[in-house]
Structure 1
Amino acid sequence: MSGNILNSATQFIRTYNVTRIIDESTSTTTHSLSLIKQITMSTNKIPLPHIDISPAACIAFVILILATVGGNTLVLSALFLDKRLHMPSFYLIANMAIADLLL
């Protein structure tokens, strides 16, 4: 597959031409960017499968997301509010809570 990518990448070689015409009255610069070889790709559309999601599943996912955000927020607030928890193992747990919130 990587050979296929390399072959198609070499087909996109670009040339850059600059022509500068200097006249007594005007000075203009013309830039043109062109492809040496153009590739036409087929645009066959693949139909996506229709997936029915029940309202109960949507509600369950929303509850799961809210519980995750709430739990991670409680872990982080416990770290910042209670100075006795400032231990290396708790910093690891706080790091995982932050990473989970970023996902």
Structure 2
Amino acid sequence: MERVLEIIGIESYIYLSVILFCVGVFGILYRRNAIVMFMSIEIMLNSANLLLVAFSTLHQDASGQVFVFFTMAVAAAEVAVGLAILVAIYRNIGSIDIDNLKNLKG
């Protein structure tokens, strides 16, 4: 990876990460479907993970890659809990549209 980092350059990884993060932000802001919002959050987390791995490789320190491992574990747990909540909401109201969730106030 270090040799690839020398050929491509750290700037390319930064640009790709910024583009992925912006795609995730726009997905959260402009889409009202809960599944698309979860996917957008995952794209944002993966862009941060990409930067952590790139800078970890650049500085030849494995701590960034270890942090990515824990971040991926937390993201997997977040997806499992989030999808379970979405299934429960779908069973109750028949839709996972975020605008329809306003009706769940008790």
TM-score by length of 2: 0.30
Q: Which has the higher strand share?
A: 1
TM-score by length of 1: 0.31
Structure number with the bigger relative contact order (C-alpha 8 A, sep ≥ 6) is 2
